[in-house]
Amino acid sequence: MDLTLKRINKHFKGRTVLEDISFDVGPRELVSIIGPSGVGKTTLLKIIAQLEQPTGGEVVFPEPPSRKHPVILVFQDYVLFPGMTVRGNIGFGLKSRRIKKAEIRERVDRMLEYFRLEEQSGHYPAQLSAGQKQRVAIARAMIINPAVLLLDEPFANLDRSLKMETAGFIRKTQKEFGIPTISVTHDLEEAFAMSDRIGILLDGRLKQYDAPKEIYFHPNSYDVARFLGPVNIIPRNLYQLFGINGERGQQDRILARPENLVLEPLENGAGRIQEVTFAGHYIVYSVSLQDRVFTVYSHQDSFRPGQEVALKIKPYGEQ
């Protein structure tokens, strides 16, 4: 049975924050809802966590959340209990259930080991790094086997270098414990890396809900495509120049990511290199073609400004 959101609406002070949000999360699934800041992501989580009431619609749980199997929201800044040690924080839920001390000790020990927090077990939250705090917060939730785990911006407080590692860790943990998890974030790469399915939340609406690859390569609208990264629009009249034909050629326009365009040196080619920017592991080329400018990411750094080139789209299979 899935956790299902049915037409969730939320109005706040006459403003529509969320409109008609519907999606479902499978029993062992990790889902990310991505959207820009201030789009109502946290509100959505709070509604699922039952900390806020929706104006309309309902959240249907496979089994109604109870004290035994609650919905747990891991806050963006973790909200650990500052007066308790790591051990105290992780054991909090068990102690609240009046479980025997020896059993609490044993179960907390297992969590400390899994979350690599053994050395910090006696530390207070103020002595921990952001990554450690987050692991405590997730361990504190996992130990009571929640019905659903909600993560609010799990990467927001982490160093750049730690984000991807954390995404991997969250995915591994989620698969290990098998707890349906919904995360909201604006960190695209990490969300893509860890999620089974992704929802794009723009202007209070869920624009697309699908597997990461589908979303990335087949965005259902320009807004979704644009939100996920720079995108080029190829109008129909340029299809021939780009070498587009067959089934693909039936569409009115094609959305192409910069990495899906290729440059070929060609004298008197239709395109002309305008700008070359070094961006680390790839080069960004701005190419003018008729009255448009296209962005291309390439590993070749042999093109020079002013050079005439042909611009092609990669065949489907190479995407």
CA dist., res. 175 & res. 301, Å (int): 41
Stretch 254-313 residues interacting with other proteins (CB under 8 A)? none
Count of chain residues binding other proteins (CB under 8 A) = 26
Closest CA to 165 of 194, 127, 188, 196: 194
Nearer to other proteins, 42 or 260 (CB): 42
* Selected binder of other proteins within 11, 123, 171, 175 (CB under 8 A): 123
Q: How far is the CB of 68 from other proteins (least distance, A)?
A: 8
CA dist., res. 180 & res. 148, Å (int): 5
Interface segment toward other proteins; rule CB under 8 A; list 91-99, 111-119, 165-173, 253-261: 91-99
Stretch 36-65 residues interacting with other proteins (CB under 8 A)? 49, 51
Burial of 99 (0-12, 13-18, 19+ CB in 10 A): middle
Q: Note whether 70 binds other proteins by CB under 8 A.
A: yes
* Selected binder of other proteins within 12, 81, 222, 316 (CB under 8 A): 81
Using CA atoms, how far residue 307 sits from 70, 232, 243, 278, 302, in Å, is: 62, 20, 20, 17, 10
Nearer to other proteins, 90 or 234 (CB): 90
CA dist., res. 314 & res. 261, Å (int): 6
CA dist., res. 166 & res. 135, Å (int): 9
Residue recorded with tokens 């299902």: 4
Stretch 161-220 residues interacting with other proteins (CB under 8 A)? none
Coil/strand/helix, residue 219: coil
Quote the Cα angle for 131-115-70, to 5°.
95
Stretch 143-172 residues interacting with other proteins (CB under 8 A)? 144
Q: How far is the CB of 91 from other proteins (least distance, A)?
A: 10
Nearer to other proteins, 49 or 313 (CB): 49
* Selected binder of other proteins within 14, 82, 246, 280 (CB under 8 A): 82
Nearer to other proteins, 68 or 101 (CB): 68
Nearer to other proteins, 152 or 190 (CB): 152
* Selected binder of other proteins within 83, 280, 306, 317 (CB under 8 A): 83
Provide the β-strand partners of residue 210. Answer: 198
* Selected binder of other proteins within 100, 126, 252, 278 (CB under 8 A): 126
* Selected binder of other proteins within 5, 72, 104, 179 (CB under 8 A): 72
Cα radius of gyration (the chain): 24
Closest CA to 115 of 99, 128, 101: 128
Q: How far is the CB of 176 from other proteins (least distance, A)?
A: 20
Burial of 206 (0-12, 13-18, 19+ CB in 10 A): buried
Where on the chain is the footprint of other proteins (CB under 8 A)?
49, 51, 67-68, 70-73, 75, 79, 81-83, 92-93, 95-97, 123-127, 140-141, 144
